[in-house]
Amino acid sequence: MDSPEQTPEQPQIYLVTPPSFELGQFPGQLARVLDKIEVACVRLDLVSRDEDTLSRAADALREVTHSRDIALVISDHLILAERLGLDGVHLTEASKSVRTARKALGPDAIVGCFCGASRHEGISAGEAGADYVCFGPVGASGLGDGATAEPELFQWWSEMIEVPIVAEGGLTQDTMRSLAPFTDFFAVGEEIWREDDPVAALKSLQLAMV
C-alpha cells in the first residue's frame, strides 16, 4: 500500500479531505478522483470533534481507499485510528508527541507531523520517528501562525534530511512548480474540493509537478 513513507523520484499527491462534507456525497466524489489520478495517501481532516461523525466518515472513506490499495490516515485521533483500522495518524501540532503516536499505533503505522515553517520542529519530529514531516503553508493560507514555509526550507531539507517532506497550504501551479524538485508529496485539499470539478482541478495542479 502506498504511503508517505515512500520517497518517489518526483512528488506524489497526498489528498486531504475538506474540513466538513456530506457523508452521502463525498465518498463517491473521492472515489472518482482516486479512479482518475494516482494518489499516495488520503487524510481524513474533519474539523468536527464528534466521535460518531468521525467514525462514520472514517468507515466510509476506508472502504473507498482500501479497496483501491490507498492508505488512509486521520488527523490527531490516535484511538480512532487504531479502533477503526486506519493506516495511521497525522499530527497537526508539532508539539504533540510523535513517540506517543508510534507507541500507540505500532511500528507499521504511518505517523506524520505538521511542523509549520519550523526547521527545528521538523528535525525534532524526524528524530522522534515521524514517517514524514509536513511544512506549510507555502502560499496564502490560514494554516499555522501565518508564517510561510519558504522554498529555501524545502531545498535545505531535501539536501540534508532523509525523512520525506510534504508541502501543504495555499498550493498553486506556480508554488508546486517551484517546490517540485525539493518535496516528496503535495498535500492537496481545499485547492480542489472548492472547485466544481475536483478531478480537473487536480489534473491542472498535477501538470506543474512534472
The CATH number that applies at residue 23 is: 3.20.20.70
CA distances from 197 to 36, 37, 63 (A): 12, 13, 22
Q: What is the pTM of this model?
A: 0.92
- Specify if 3 maps to a domain: no
What is the distance between the alpha carbons of residues 101 and 22, in angstroms, rounded to a whole number? 29
Domain annotation covers residue 18: yes
Q: Is residue 4 part of a domain?
A: no
Per-residue burial over 121-139, b if 16 or more Cβ lie within 10 Å, else e, is bbbbbbebebbbbbbbbbb
In a domain, 5, yes or no: no
The pLDDT, as a whole number, for residue 6 is 46
Cis? peptide before 137, omega within 30° of 0 = yes
Q: What is the pLDDT of residue 7?
A: 43
Measured between alpha carbons, how far is 157 from 133 in angstroms, rounded to an integer? 10
Quote the pLDDT of residue 54: 97
The pLDDT of residue 20 is: 96
Given this model, what pLDDT does residue 141 score? Answer: 64
Task: Count how many domains the chain has.
Answer: 1
Residue with cell 480542489: 192
The answer to whether the beta carbons of residues 30 and 187 sit under 8 Å apart is no
Domain boundaries, position 116: 12-209
Residue 60 lies in a domain: yes
pLDDT for position 84: 96
> Which one, of 29, 16, 5, lies nearest residue 200 by Cα?
29
Count of residues in the chain: 210
Q: What is the pLDDT of residue 60?
A: 98
Q: Does 7 map to a domain?
A: no
How far, CA to CA in Å, does 72 sit from each of 37, 89, 177? 16, 9, 26
Residue 131 has a pLDDT of: 97
In a domain, 1, yes or no: no
Low-confidence residues in the chain, pLDDT < 50:
1-3, 5-8
